[in-house]
Amino acid sequence: MKGERVLITGIGAVSAIGLGANRLFEGALSCRSGVRPWPDASSRWVAATIPESGSLCCMPALPTNLDRHVAIASLAIREAMQDARLEPLSQDRSERSGAYWGTGAGSAATVEDSYARLHADQRIRPLTVLLGMQNAALAQIAVEFGLRGPQLAVSQACASAAAAIGEALLALRWGRADRIIVGGSDAPVVRSQLLAWESLRVLARRDDDVPEQSCRPFDRRRSGLVLGEGAAAFVLERESVAAARGAPVHAELCGYGNAGDASHYAKPDPDGQARAMKQALADAGLAPEDIGYLNAHATATGVGDVSEAEAIRRVFAESRTMPAVSSTKAIHGHTLGAAGALELAVAVLALERGCLPPTAHLEIPNVEGLDLVHGAPRECSIEAAMSNTFAFGGSNVSLAVRRYTD
């Protein structure tokens, strides 16, 4: 017995493409890159940063001292709530409405500011502990939107948002809440984070001719990942609750797989990734051939892209058809703990609108056996899609969605 079906009734997103889930998806279809030199044109670094105009500046009624990842989380949730046509929650509905949120780097800007003050012999800000805690976004979300149901803060590196979404699915199936506002946010584009990732030797080299194309998943010319900042949020509701209020429905969230490698901090294991995908399929009651599109984790590192391609081949080897595969990190960057939410949003909109986004900047594929979407969007009607999110530490999460029919 699986419990009640869980529906996605609202989606919101903030990314390097701009404000809004629609803008994110349209950018993915057109391969419009949000990657740019950081902090200025002379820098050796590139990053996928949120355009200031029309996004963060239009956030009234938020405390000015919030960490950046908390502020963009709030903005994504505002859009998701509006998209779901949720009115302000009454007390009884508030107590049945939860908040689950994921972040990897957490309050990176707050931490960097605190160390700068420490080394300059300046006073640390009084609210540093509160602003820098890993559940800072969750606390702001609950207070701002009056969510008094179950809460869960997830910090599972790059798999944080995906794991939060999966755990929310389980909680809703079994009636722990009527709805859960869920997603993830990260804003790791600060000097200390860039230096740390550069030291790990996984950052992409800046393409001096076309900096916006420095991230190239699945391409022979790839040189590494590009850090990005962003947030995405979903309103998840039990089917009976959504039906009772006549809520709009984007898709059914139907499958969750969570598997660990237990082998290495940084080297991915195709076996763990394949098990996560198989778990998601089994949880959803789907066969491999039911998946029409797969949004890959592919970050544009050599080891990571090759390992995921191997895992996908293992899962779909005996399927009558391979799913179409693409990675959208080429345009919005690797948003760490927010990645699973942003990329699930793309997968849901691809399912809903019948148009699959290509992997931007992919010209010379060097992984075999995959049906890679590149060059242009692919129009096709699909019934189910999957999103992969894998993390340092050997955490692998896969989520499955399908077209909703009542």
Residue 177 gets which letter from DSSP? Answer: -
| 264 assigned to active site | no
* Encoded tokens for 140: 């702001």
| 119 assigned to active site | no
| 69 assigned to active site | no
Pairing type for strands 35-38 and 18-19 reads unpaired
Q: 76-100 burial string, b = 16+ CB within 10 Å, else e?
A: bbbbbbebbebeebeeebeebbbbb
The residue annotated as part of the active site, out of 334, 355, 361, 374, is 334
Burial, 278: exposed, middle or buried (Cβ in 10 Å; 0-12, 13-18, 19+)?
A: middle
> Is the sign of the CA dihedral 270, 331, 357, 164 positive or negative?
positive
For 218, phi and psi rounded to 5 degrees? 65, 5
C-alpha closest to that of 359 among 305, 280, 321: 305
CA pair distance 76, 313, nearest whole angstrom: 34
The residue annotated as part of the active site, out of 297, 332, 361, 374, is 297
Peptide bond into 365 cis (omega under 30): no
The residue annotated as part of the active site, out of 31, 158, 215, 355, is 158
CA distances from 105 to 172, 228, 348, 388, 406 (A): 27, 12, 25, 19, 39
Phi-psi category of 233—alpha, beta or left, where left has phi over 0 and alpha has psi -120 to 50? beta
Q: Any alpha helices (H) in 223-268, and if so which ranges?
A: 239-244
The residues assigned a catalytic role are 158, 297, 334
